């Protein structure tokens, strides 16, 4: 499964009903949401990663190759799609409930 976090962030902004801001500010808002989403996803992946694979996972994160990270996680996290979906749902719920602004 290919995750498009940019589209997710744009939809969150739309769902929140935010309008009337300059393109620059909207872009920054979406960028901030993408960063938050990535952080939550990584935290959930770490939580669900087998303990004996955490050091290898950290190396993959440090290398920054998204396709290798996704491949590694797919191999070692049995329910990866559910983990990512849960992370995104958590962010969505917090954001729409005004916990995150």
pLDDT in tens, the chain (101 residues): 445 899 999 999 999 998 889 999 999 999 999 999 999 999 999 999 999 999 999 999 999 888 899 899 999 999 999 999 999 999 999 999 875 55
Task: Read off the DSSP letter of residue 70.
Answer: H
Place of tokens 């994160």: 61
Q: Distance between CA 71 and CA 48 in Å, rounded?
A: 15
The alpha helices in 49-79, defined as continuous H runs, are 54-63, 66-76
Q: Distance between CA 80 and CA 70 in Å, rounded?
A: 9
Q: Distance between CA 42 and CA 70 in Å, rounded?
A: 11
């Amino acid at each position: 499964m290919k995750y498009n976090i940019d589209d997710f962030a744009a939809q969150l902004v739309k769902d929140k009903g935010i309008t009337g801001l300059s393109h620059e500010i909207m872009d920054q808002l979406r960028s901030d949401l993408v960063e938050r989403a990535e952080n939550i996803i990584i935290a959930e992946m770490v939580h669900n990663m087998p303990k004996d694979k955490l050091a290898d996972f950290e190396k993959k994160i440090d290398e920054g190759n998204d396709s290798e990270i996704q491949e590694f996680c797919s191999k070692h996290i049995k329910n990866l799609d559910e983990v990512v979906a849960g992370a995104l749902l958590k962010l969505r719920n917090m954001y729409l409930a005004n916990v995150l602004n």
